[in-house]
Structure 1
Amino acid sequence: MGYVLAVTGYKPHEIGIQSNNHPQLPFLKRAVKKKLAAVIDDLGVEWVVVSGQMGVELWAAEALLDMKSDLNVKLAVLKPFYHQDERWPDEWKVYYESVCQRADYTDTISKRPYDSPAQLRMKNEFIIEKTDGLLVLYDEWTPGSPSYYIEAAEKKAEYKMYDIMYLTPDEIQDMIHEEAEHHHEEIDNEDGF
């Protein structure tokens, strides 16, 4: 089997994105897509794996689905437990269902509804164990949920070759500035990431 890449990052509220109309969200999505395409190309990725959580994982899955006609890569959504989206806002439920329906493979790791935080830890460890590398949107100065994935990845890297690649807020800012220069536009960047 070829290279299998896990992708994760912040949930929307962890980076101040309260809705799908946030002015910087299109830039964030383009940065995720650009980085994902580069990693897929560089490493010959055959599968991308996400757990389907709100935020970066669903944005990356959407980006991959948009690029599938140009790339020979498949998407797997490995949900941590049944009804992961049960308490999500309706717009995220629709988004999640759309991604799951278009994925090449979906399954649930814990074959029951949520009953313990241990299911989330088990999901991180399972996905890291089944993959060759992790692409993560993370900034060490902004702690959040991606740190649990990184911890599992670093643990695996101690005994087996495992790539940990980052998409940083600085890369996103650079892309925003490049696009602004390219389009000669002023982009309000006070909110930051």
Structure 2
Amino acid sequence: MSSILISGYRAFDLGIFDEKVPQVKIIKKAIERDLKKFLEEGVEWLIFTGNLGFEVWCLEIAKDLQKEYDFQIATIFIFENQGENWNEANQAKLSLFRQVDFVKSAYPRYENPSQFREYNQFLIHNTDGAYLFYDEERETNLKYLLTVMKEQEDYFIKKLTFDDLNDLAENFS
């Protein structure tokens, strides 16, 4: 695999409104473990969509890992104006996604619902696999992306689950 799409729960999906809570430390520990494994297996690109929460935490870890590993980071936003109405704190987080090796937007702005389906197809057809923080029992709009992933033959999906986090938390010191 040379490219991995990264996506998952947004902070508000998880009820996390303060990045200093212990849950974020556990999630970041899992992210670091998993990203190192991908990079040691030869992944060359980590692809983000610019969502807050899991993706921001992965991006922060990935930027640190670029000091140790040779890989590139890309952000492919769905819309050029993504996040334009967000508050200042979220705008600052969003700006991190613009400070990577490659940045592009699929569309200038929202025009119709089919853009979401086409965007998901594009992401999947241009990556070898995905790293998702998602549990199908706690559904969000990410279910649409996951459905398309599952329809693809030989598309690798590594999921970070709540059970993984619970196991890690038990051993976290």
TM-score of the two chains, using structure 2 as the length reference: 0.92
Map of 1:21 onto structure 2:
20
Q: How far off is 1:3 after superposition? A: 0.9
- Asked if structure 2 preserves the Cα contact closer than 8 Å seen for 1:76 and 1:104, the reply is yes
Is 54-63 or 67-76 further displaced after alignment? 54-63
Please give the residue correspondences for 1:49-128 in structure 2 after superposition, counting only pairs within 5 Å.
Answer: 49-101=47-99, 103-110=100-107, 112-128=108-124
Secondary structure, in 3 states, of the residue corresponding to 1:171? helix
| Distance verdict in 2 for CA 1:176–1:62, change over 3 Å | same
Map of 2:161 onto structure 1:
168
**One-letter identity of the residue aligned with 2:113:** P
Secondary structure, in 3 states, of the residue corresponding to 1:100? coil
Q: Distance in 2 between matches of 1:162 and 1:135?
A: 11
**Identical pairs, percent:** 27
Map of 1:35 onto structure 2:
34
Kindly provide the CA deviation profile for residues 125-148 of structure 1, in whole angstroms up to 9, marking residues without a partner as x.
111110001111111221113212
Higher Rg of the two aligned structures:
1
Q: How far off is 1:94 after superposition? A: 0.4
Paired residues in the alignment total 173
| Distance verdict in 2 for CA 1:117–1:56, change over 3 Å | farther
Map of 1:11 onto structure 2:
10
Q: Choose from 151, 154, 168 the match for 1:155.
A: 151
Is 2:173 the partner of 1:177? no
Secondary structure, in 3 states, of the residue corresponding to 1:77? strand
Q: Please identify runs of 4+ aligned residues in structure 1 that moved more than 4 A.
A: none
Kindly provide the CA deviation profile for residues 78-109 of structure 1, in whole angstroms up to 9, marking residues without a partner as x.
010111011223212101102312x1100011
- Asked if structure 2 preserves the Cα contact closer than 8 Å seen for 1:82 and 1:113, the reply is yes
Secondary structure, in 3 states, of the residue corresponding to 1:28? helix
Q: How far off is 1:40 after superposition? A: 2.5
- Asked if structure 2 preserves the Cα contact closer than 8 Å seen for 1:11 and 1:53, the reply is yes
